[in-house]
Every structure is written in C-alpha cells, then in structure tokens.
Chains A and B, each alone.
Chain A
Amino acid sequence: MKPEESNLRLSGTGSFRETALKVLFRLPCKPNFEYFRSIFFPKMKEKEIRVNFKPQQLVVYVEKEDGSYGQMVTGSYLSKHYLDDFFDKIRKWDKTLKEQLKKGEISPVYYYLIMREFGEGDLASRVGISRRALKKHFTMDGFKQMKLSLVKRYAEAFDIPVSALFHFTVVSEKDAGKLSVSFEESENPYFSLSKIELAEPEKKD
C-alpha cells in the first residue's frame, strides 16, 4: 500500500524551530517523557545503523532522512561482532562432550541434543517417544538398549546417517581445512558412505 500524502506527517528531522512547533501542535493525550525524547532524540536512523557484513544480510526498519519509516537491508550486527565468540563456544562444547562420550559418561543422543540445540520436548516429539524415554537415552545404559529402528529415528531427527551415532570421523589438526568429510546416503537407510575429499580453497570476495 502506498500511504496517501498527508500534510499531517511528523518528521523526526528538521530544525529546532520546526521540531518545537511539532511538539506544540501534536501533543498526545498524555504527554510523557518518552514522547518528548522520541522527538528530540530519534536514534534509529538509516545511516547510523548500517552494518557491513555480507554473509548475513537482514531487513531492519529505520527512520529515513525524510522522517518516514521504512526498510533497509543491512548486515547482522551480532554476527559481525560476536560470531567468533559463538564458534569458540561451539568448539568448546564439541570437545568437552566428545571427551565425555569417549568415557561413556553421556550418549550420542545427548551429544546431538546439545549440539543441535533441541529442547527435550521438541526432540521427543520428533522421534515419537515420551520425554521420560528420551531422558533414558542420554546415558549409555539407556542408549545401548535401544532398537536399531529407534536409533534410525534419532538419526533422522538429527539429520545424520545412522552410523554417525556410533562414530566420529576426525581430521587431524595438521590437515584441518585441507580435507572435508561428508556423508552420502544409500538406498539402504542403515548404510551410508563417508566421503573424505580435498577441501576446495576458500573463495575470497
């Protein structure tokens, strides 16, 4: 919808005199601090919030130069400034949980629950079991009692091959970045192929 032109438009920009006139003639029923502050200190200006981060673009609504509000495509502020911290946490969790897995303290179900950030109720519903049954599968005692068909349902919920619930393929530190590991499904849902290939060099913009 193209809003009709109206001479009632209030602009967030302009001279002090213009702003003062607007305040005088456009008072809301109950004038308050937020109202006055919003007129004198509008903050969400287009040019002030633009973030240069190509990998994650999003739409935000801002105040344009002419005082109208509308959308602007910009980069994600959070990803630009905090993504490194996010990856650090993920790496730390991955390492800690894998250590616990190797010692048999947790099950692969628990590992993927945390790494995929599932809520317990959501995951139980995806697998088609109760939350109580799900919790039993967090330990190796519970995990090893599962039927293979149930393991397959977990694998589907985690979007991984069944075999990934029984082992991890690890690339040594010296080859990190040089090799990539991927899975290839087969017609047999219980059988998949691990493909280890030379990684493609990263493209530079």
Chain B
Amino acid sequence: MKEINFEHKMAAHCETGTVKALLNHSGLDITEAMVFGIASGIFFGYLESANFPLPSFIVRNKPGSIRTNISKRLGIKFNTQKFRSAEAGEAALDKLINASIPTAAQVDFYYMEYMPDWQRVHINVHFVNVVGLNEKNYLLSDSYFPKKSELAKTTFTKARFVGGYMAPKGFIFYPEHIPGNIDFVPAIRKGIKKAARDMTRLPVPFIGVKGIRKFAKKVVTWPGKARDIDHLSHEIMKINILLEDQGTGGAGFRFLYATFLQQAAQLLKDGQLEGMSKRMMAIGDDWRNISYFAAKIGKQRDLGSERLNELSEMINNMADQEQAFFSELYKMAK
C-alpha cells in the first residue's frame, strides 16, 4: 500500500473537515470552525423536491461552496477536475496519490462501506480525502469515521461516477497554492456578512429565516404526504438526523457556527462578537430541543395535529430568534 503521510482527524462535517485537513496538510493552521465560518456555511433552506422522498431541509450552504468561498476569501488556489469517463477519473486520481498529493473526492455516501449500514444513504455530496492506494483498494480519510479506512477501488469509482441529483462526475480537488501571511480579518468579516445576508435578506420564500418559517408552516402537512404512520414517524425522526447526526457538529451547524464566532471574536478582539457566539450557542440549544422532541414523538408515534402544531411552534420560535440574531450580526459586519 502506497500511503501518504497524512494526519487523520474526525470532523463534524465532511466538506469542512476535508478542506481543513488538506489545508492543514499543506501547512496552513486553520480550524474546522474557521473554515465553516469564513465560507459562510451557516444556512437554512426548506426544499420540496422530487429528489427527496418527502420535503426536506438543509442547514448549510450549497455543497461545494465551502471550498469555493474559502478559495475566494483566503486567496487559496485549488486544482479541481471533473471527468466524463470513470477510467479517466480513476487514472487521474491514482496519478495524484502516486505523486503523494492527498486529494479530496466527491462521492455517493451510500458506497462508503466502512460506515454502519443504518447510516449509509444515497447522498451524492459526500467528501473524503484519498491518502493511499494499492492495486485493489484506496485508503481514505473520512471525517465521519474514527480511523483511515480501505475501500475497494471498484466500489470507490462507482461512488464517484453514479448519476442522479448533484452527481459527483468524478470531481476531485486539492490545494495548489496557499499564500503566505493570510489576513484572516477581512475574510472573517466577509464570511459573516454573506451568511447573515443569506439568512435574512434573500428574497426567496424557502431560504434563510423565511425557509424556517416555511418549514414550521409545512411540517403540519406532512401526514398527508407520508405513506403511513411509520413513514411519517421516520420522516419526523429524520429532523433529528438532519440536525444532529448528518455531520453538523450538533444543532444543525449552530454549535459549529458559535465556535467560529468565538474564535473570530478572539482574533478580532471583539467582545460584542463574543456575546453573539454565546447567543448562537443558546439558539443551538433550542434547535437541539427540537431534535429531541422530534425523535421522541416519532418513536412514540405521537404524531397527531396537536403534537405537530407544537413542533411547528418550536420551529417558528427558531425563526424569530434567528431573524433577530442574523439581523444584528449583519449590522455588525457592515
């Protein structure tokens, strides 16, 4: 096995974890929270699409934009490649690994066979670092798994070239150039401003705080969309998965964002921002209460209109809190 000397660390989220690990490997000392915050990762969107079995929501910005925003704001150049054929994609990846360049790849999470079965779902926007190979296997550093893992090359290539919603098309990337003496201060300000703007000012009815309100309004209609009570229970319990277990660092990335604000406050020597990080942590606590509540009523099949209205009210309360929070944050970043 050809193995690149690469430090494996778990991270809350796959894309931030992958980008952070590659930057650390290239000599830039940066935390996952800082990557997330500078890239304006915090977000909310309520999605009604045929690509999901039932309406769903996202709590982070568009997949891929962590890397593009970091690149734009810190001046880091990433080499990125997409491929039409699996053979060409596999050959290019092998060449990079043989040249000792750890490389991130976009894959369908379902094929990451080292993960527990119950976690493996079809999501085409999972990111892992490839850090070694031999004739049969790749060695992967996946932020969601405690240690580096081997995966059959045939399986990994399949995961890179599946079709479907947001198909990976063999996408790979690695940092090519990192400027010396990066000034983090303007990058942090831009990151905060964009995130606060996305949450409060975009004129789209399902994005940001408007998206949270839409979620609150629509969740009570889910019984009409579910196949049966078990399906409804499953989808309601998925609220917990999407907020806590699907690589968010807890509370739909709110704890990760609070950590970013705290680190930013210390760097900027800004006491007001420190206060905002505490508020964000408290907001995260309330999102977490929603997670627990959803899991509880889901398991008990206590899914009558009274309970769903209660859930809707809790979500609406989050919209109020985040409206106040991000409006204030936007003014601070202006």
Candidate in B162, B233, B274, B288 with the most chain A CB atoms within 10 angstroms = B274
Interface pair B274/A60, CB less than 8 Å apart: no
Residue of A nearest to B111 (CB): A159
Contact with B along A117-128 (1 / 0, CB 8 A): 111111101111
> In whole angstroms, how far apart are the Cα atoms of A2 and B275 in the complex?
20
A89-127 at interface with B (beta carbon < 8 Å): 89, 92-93, 114, 116-123, 125-127
Residues of B near A70 (CB, < 8 A) are 259
Q: Mark B295-334, 1 if CB is under 8 A from A, else 0.
A: 1001100000000000000000000010011001001000
Q: Does B32 contact A (CB under 8 A)?
A: yes
A38 to B157, alpha carbons, bound, how many Å? 47
User: What is the 8 Å Cβ interface bit string for chain A, positions 50-61, against chain B (1 contact, 0 not)?
Assistant: 000001111111
Tell me if B141 counts as interface (CB < 8 A to partner A). Answer: no
Known contacts A34-B279, A57-B146, A120-B50: does B12 contact A71 (CB below 8 Å)? yes
Give B299's nearest chain A residue, CB to CB.
A85
Enumerate chain A interface residues (CB-CB to B < 8 A): 1-6, 8-10, 12, 26-30, 32, 34-35, 37-39, 41-44, 49, 55-63, 68-71, 73, 76-79, 81-83, 85-87, 89, 92-93, 114, 116-123, 125-128, 131, 157, 159
Among A3, A42, A58, find the residue whose CB has the most chain B CB atoms closer than 10 A: A58
21 interchain pairs, CB-CB under 8 A: A3-B266, A5-B266, A9-B274, A12-B281, A28-B272, A34-B279, A34-B282, A34-B324, A35-B282, A38-B279, A57-B146, A59-B10, A59-B143, A69-B255, A69-B258, A89-B230, A118-B53, A119-B53, A121-B165, A125-B163, A126-B164
- Residue of A whose beta carbon sits closest to that of B230: A89
Q: Compute how far the CA of A116 lies from the CA of B144 in the bound complex, rounded to whole angstroms.
A: 21
- Tell whether A61 pairs with B270 under 8 Å between CB atoms, given A34-B279, A121-B165: no
Residue of A nearest to B155 (CB): A159
Is B50 a contact partner of A121 (Cβ separation < 8 A)? yes
Rounded to whole angstroms, the CA-CA distance of A87 and B234 in the bound complex is: 11
Contact at B271–A82, with CB atoms within 8 Å?
Answer: no
Instruction: Say yes or no for B285: interface residue by CB 8 A criterion.
Output: yes
Interface stretch (choices B131-139, B173-181, B210-218, B241-249): B241-249
Which residue of chain A has its CB nearest to the CB of B275? A28
Stretch with Cβ within 8 A of A (4 or more), from B65-73, B82-90, B118-126, B195-203: B118-126
B250-A126 in contact (CB<8A): no
Across the interface, do A3 and B263 meet the contact criterion of CB distance under 8 Å? yes
B33 (CB) vs chain A CBs: closest residue: A61
A39 to B62 alpha-carbon distance, docked (Å):
32
- Determine the distance from Cα of A128 to Cα of B164 in the docked complex, in whole angstroms: 8
Residues of B contacting A37 in the complex (Cβ-Cβ under 8 angstroms)? 282
Chain A min CB distance to B286 (Å):
9
Q: Are A8 and B250 in contact (CB under 8 A)?
A: no
CB pair B299 A34 closer than 8 Å: no
B204 at the interface (CB under 8 A from A): no
Q: Are A78 and B245 in contact (CB under 8 A)?
A: yes
Could you say which residues of chain A place their CB within 8 Å of the CB of B158?
159
- Would you call A38 and B282 a contact (CB within 8 A)? yes
Within 8 Å CB of B53, what residues of A?
A: 117-119
Q: A128 to B163, Cβ gap below 8 A?
A: yes
Known: A10-B274, A34-B321. A1 touches B184 (CB 8 A): yes
Look across to chain A and name the residue whose beta carbon is closest to the beta carbon of B35.
A1
* A8: B residues at CB distance < 8 A: 265-266, 269-271, 274
Q: With both chains docked as a complex, state the minimum distance between the C-beta of B110 and any C-beta of chain A, in angstroms.
A: 7
Taken residue by residue from 21 to 51, chain B's Cβ proximity to chain A (1 for < 8 Å, 0 otherwise) reads as: 0000000011111100000000000000111
Shortest beta-carbon contacts, A-B, top 10 = A121-B50, A38-B282, A61-B255, A69-B259, A126-B164, A3-B266, A60-B250, A121-B51, A119-B51, A122-B165
Measured between alpha carbons, how far is A67 from B324 in the docked complex, in Å?
24
| Chain B residues, Cβ within 8 Å of A63 | 281
With contacts A78-B237, A117-B121 taken as known, whether A44 is within 8 angstroms of B230 at the C-beta atoms is no
